[in-house]
Structure 1
Amino acid sequence: MNALLEDLKWRGLIAHSTDEEALAAHLDAAPVNFYVGFDPTAPSVHTGNLVQLLLARRLQQAGHKPYMLVGGATGLIGDPKEAGERTMNSAEVVAGWVERIRSQVERFVDFDGPGSATMVNNLDWTQQISVLDFLRDVGKHFPVNRMLARDVVARRLEAGISYTEFSYVLLQSMDYRELNRRHGVTLQTGGSDQWGNITAGVELLRRSDQERVHALATPLLTKADGTKFGKTESGTVWLDEGLTSAYAFHQFFLNAEDAKVIDYLKVFSFRSREEIEELERATAAEPFRRAAQRALADDVTDLVHGTAERKAASDAAAALFGKGDLADLPASTLDQVMTEVGAARVNTLPSITEAMTLAGLVDSKSAARRAISEGGAYLNNVKVTDADLQLAPEHLLANRFAVLRRGRRTVGGVVLG
């Protein structure tokens, strides 16, 4: 078995593959040109896409050449969803998202050296094809009965599916053929939810060009209860810091469940098997220390946001719960923290009891007074003893932020302006 595939298997990164033995031999024979695609149906990629980005990184580190596709054409349509028809975005919006996602994708692979990555946009070849050429050259290779049998299509038939979304599979399949013809790409990777689209591209190349190519799909990550990984009560965990701050991103991985954290480490960390197995033993022996969660959060945040942002996020979390000096945190990090804890925005500084109520730490001013009298209220990590305290400019961090805490773990705040 190919060493790369063995490692991917151990990491739980292979859900499906086309003829595993043939793929292993293909990877052993010579450096392989492979591709993975990202549709700009949102302004950023997210933690689910990160699995594919890091798989591309692993393949490149093993000596293979990545083609990173951002779907300027397929993004205008969108892959069918079980929930119903997508809202079609304008060409201008999609073009803007293409550039944003391109800049995100570029950070995860190397564009220098013999196996340097190449960025491609499927709009470059799709917009040049006429409808008649598309139907004659691509559509004739797709039996409608097979298209109807695809899971997502079958589930959508009763409620209805547009011809636009029904035909998406043809466009993605054409991408594989174009990249094979133009660049000799012989492997496509993606998530298991894309397996039907991916294998349709393999089949198109076999039917139209008599080419034998390969495919590999990763499993969809889930939480312990089976729900989708990367979703929180506040929404999707994005890779764009403007949509999910480095602090919130770090906290998301830091809060990984004990039952799943080792699975996530295998997927998202580049630590060796020995290191991960040691963390697994440590977590089983002393789960309260959360060694695996800390390693996971640090490793992934380093990859996505950089070491400096990760350190700022770690320092902020420590300071927030009294293990560091809040005054040492930069204003930008404090702003991230206040957003994450749902701090109240105020135009004038309130009293301490009003501030605790606005921040959601207590239900009423009288409850705030009780918390203060019991010694359980903190302003910027300093115990509050005066229930009549009026917040003043000297109580603000970076001239805007007041961090409030009730007890050891309940944190909120107010932000001036």
Structure 2
Amino acid sequence: MNVFDTLKERGFIKQTTHEDEIRDLLGKESVTFYIGFDATADSLHVGHFLQLMAMAHLQRAGHRPIALLGGGTTMVGDPTGKTDMRKMLTVEDIQHNAECFKGQMKRFLDFSDDKAIMENNANWLMNLEYIPFLREVGRHFSVNRMLTAECFKSRMEKGLSFLEFNYMIMQAYDFVELHKRYGCKLQLGGDDQWSNIIAGADLIRRVEGDSAYGMTFTLLTNSEGKKMGKTESGAVWLDAEKFSPYEFYQYWRNVADADVKNCLSLLTFIEMDEVERLASLEGSEINKAKEVLAYEVTKIVHGEEEAKKAQEAAKALFGKGAMAGSIPCTEIAKADIADGMDILTLLTTTSLAASRSEARRLVQQGGVSINDEKIKEIEFKITEDNFEDDSLMIRKGKKVYHQVKIG
């Protein structure tokens, strides 16, 4: 099967500049393509993961990915989807974040023997001379047309800085550089990048006189149209230190029934016949599909060993109520509970609540249990008697578990 058809069947493709031409190109030759990743944090997240899965599908079909780190573009900040200007990061922070991205990307793509390329747009953007760049590249951009782009239009009321206004031109220039250096013909990205992608393809045609193409992917959303990859505590990161493999497994184990097929299609390599079978399960049987989803996604991101540990921890927890080693854990000193530790302090210490007022609301709403017993009073104190084998289990809501051990 042409990989274009594979991506379409699995639900990746949202928009294309030239659908028939792109499909023909991917069917008859090895195509060098790229996706850009601005280094705005020290870990990739679930939104990036969807794009890395698309890159992996293309690489498996014989095409060559370029993972472009945004060492230069992150200095400016993409205004897309933001109501205010992004926080300005230092050069050192951006370099650190880019190094973190490098390590994570190597889990998903094969960079050996030139099968994939990792580049950084700081290599050309940071050394540009302003006036020559304006004359050679800026003259090809119509301000009137740029202002109609969704990434800028949504910011016009609150204000768009001239710094951010340059972002589209910089991303378009990235495509030109990658075309010159590596013969890159295709730029991919999330659908929110459509305006930037078509600007790059158009710039190559104007400057180089060559054909270039763009394609966007659907954003990872649930059945209600809301972006997935967020929890009460923040983003679902791919870094095990920021979001543990157990928490990661539990996130996918707890998706809504209506989202199982979409997640299996986009975030695993399971054949579509099996995806259809799993997604068709009804009632309590759908939980089997969710367990497959959670295991497969955790295996891809964190490795088979961590996926097995998370799966076993979940089974132990929900099957027997046992204390399982892969569940997030906080150690406290015995001295801290000698006179009793109030439940609000415990919730903030374990980061299950961001503040005492949030912890108070959780208890008052019946959202906190200790060892499967609901806590009803905000004055409740934890003592050594609550621990069995120096361990206790807190449950927040129905699905968030946290283990506390006496150190």
TM-score (normalised: structure 1): 0.84
Question: Would the alpha carbon gap of residues 350 and 222 (structure 1) be closer, same or farther in structure 2, given more than 3 Å must change?
Answer: farther
1:402 has 2:395 as partner: no
Q: 1:14 to 1:245 in 2, by over 3 A?
A: same
Provide, for residues 269-294 of structure 1, a one-character-per-residue CA deviation record: whole Å limited to 9, x for no partner. Answer: 1011111111122x2x3444512211
Is the Cα–Cα contact under 8 Å of residues 357 and 363 in structure 1 kept in the other structure? no
SS at match of 2:337: coil
Alpha carbons of 1:287 and 1:212: their partners in 2 closer, same or farther (altered >3 Å)? farther
The structural deviation recorded for 1:245 is 1.0
Mapped partners of 1:59, 1:28: distance in 2: 11
Instruction: Determine if contact 1:348/1:416 at 8 Å carries over to the other structure.
Output: no
- Contact 2:3-2:27 at 8 Å conserved across structures: no
Partner of 1:382: none
Unaligned stretches of 5+ residues in structure 2: 348-358, 375-380
Partner of 2:263, secondary structure, is: helix
CA contact (8 A) 2:151 2:195 kept: no
* Structure 1 position 6, deviation (Å): 1.4
1:226 aligns with 2:214: no
Matched, 1:212 2:211: yes
- Contact 1:315/1:324, CA 8 A, preserved across alignment: no
Distance 1:297 1:73, change over 3 A: same
Residue in 1 that maps onto 2:311: 314
How far 1:213 sits from its partner (Å)? 1.0
Residues 169 and 200 in structure 1, CA contact (< 8 A), matched pair in contact too: yes
Instruction: Name 1:33's counterpart in structure 2.
Output: 32
* Correspondence 1:272-291 to 2 at 5 A: 272-281=271-280, 283=281, 285-291=282-288
Structure 1 match to 2:355: none
For residue 187 of structure 1, report the CA deviation from its aligned partner: 0.9
Letter in 1 for 2:4: L
Partner of 1:94: 94
Q: Does 1:109 align with 2:109?
A: yes
Give the partner amino acid of 2:26: L
**Following superposition of structure 1 onto structure 2, how do residues 171-186 of structure 1 map, counting pairs within 5 Å?**
171-186=170-185
Q: Is the 8 A contact 1:356 1:413 kept in 2?
A: no
Q: What is the one-letter code of the residue matched to 1:274?
A: D
Question: C-alpha separation between the residues in 2 aligned to 1:151 and 1:348?
Answer: 54
Paired amino acid for 1:89: L
Compared CA separation, residues 358 and 38, structure 1 to 2 (3 A): closer
| Number of residue pairs matched by the alignment | 386
**1:351-370 to 2 correspondence within 5 Å?**
358=346
Residue identity opposite 1:315 in structure 2: E
CA distance in 2, matches of 1:134, 1:221: 36
Secondary structure of the residue aligned to 1:15 is strand
User: Which of 373, 384, 391 is equivalent to 1:391?
Assistant: 384
Task: State the distance in 1 between where 2:141 and 2:397 align.
Answer: 63
Cα contact 1:376–1:407 (8 A) shared by 2: no
- Inter-CA distance 25–376: structure 2 relative to 1 (3 Å threshold): closer
Letter in 2 for 1:295: V
Q: Distance in 2 between matches of 1:277 and 1:52?
A: 22
Q: What corresponds to 1:381 in structure 2?
A: none
Paired residue secondary structure (1:35): strand
| Residue identity opposite 1:16 in structure 2 | Q
Unmatched segments (≥5 aa) in structure 1: 379-387
Q: How far 1:224 sits from its partner (Å)?
A: 2.3
Letter of the structure 1 residue corresponding to residue 101 of structure 2:
I
2:255 match: 256
How big is the shift at 1:231?
1.4
Find the structure with the greater CA-based Rg: 1
Q: 1:299 aligns to what?
A: 296
Q: CA deviation at 1:255?
A: 0.8
**Range moving further from structure 2, 306-315 or 345-354:** 345-354
SS of the residue corresponding to residue 395 of structure 1 reads coil
Relative distance call for 1:345 and 1:409 in structure 2 (3 A) is farther
Return the alpha-carbon distance in structure 2 between the equivalents of residues 278 and 101 of structure 1. 35
Change (3 A) 1:92 1:254: same
- Displacement of 1:320 in angstroms is 2.5
Distance 1:410 1:241 in 2: 17
SS in structure 2 at match of 1:41: coil
In the alignment, the residues of structure 1 paired with residue 76 and residue 67 of structure 2 have an alpha-carbon distance, to the nearest angstrom, of 19
Q: What is the rounded CA distance, in whole Å, between the counterparts of 1:389 and 1:193 in structure 2?
A: 48
Q: Which amino acid aligns with 1:87?
A: K
State the secondary structure of the residue aligned to 2:94: helix
Equivalent position of 2:84 in the other structure: 84
2:232 aligned partner, one-letter code: E
| 2:135 counterpart letter in structure 1 | R
Inter-partner Cα distance in structure 2 for 1:238 and 1:409: 18
Quick check: 228-237 or 169-178, which moved more?
228-237
- Displacement after TM superposition at 1:78 (Å): 1.2
Residue pair 1:188, 1:198 contacting (<8 A) in 2 also: yes
8 Å CA contact 1:33, 1:66 repeated in 2: yes
Q: Please report how far the alpha carbon of residue 301 of structure 1 lies from its aligned counterpart in structure 2 after TM superposition.
A: 0.5
- 1:348 corresponds to which of 323, 336, 339: 336
Query: Displacement, 1:194?
Result: 0.5
SS in 1 for 2:157: coil
**Residue type of the alignment partner of 1:210:** G
Is contact 1:355-1:414 (8 Å) kept? no
Percentage identity across aligned positions?
37
Counterpart mapping for 1:143-182 below 5 A? 143-182=142-181
RMSD: 3.2
Q: Is the 8 A contact 2:257 2:286 kept in 1?
A: no
Seen in structure 2, the aligned counterparts of structure 1 residues 404 and 68 have a Cα distance that, compared at 3 Å, is closer
The alpha-carbon deviation at position 97 of structure 1 amounts to 0.7
Tell me the equivalent position of 2:49: 50
User: Match for residue 377 of structure 2?
Assistant: none
Distance (whole Å) between structure 2 residues aligned to residue 155 and residue 98 of structure 1: 28
Which secondary structure does the structure 1 equivalent of 2:311 belong to? helix
Distance 1:349 1:153, change over 3 A: same
Letter in 2 for 1:204: L
Displacement of 1:412 after TM fit? 5.3
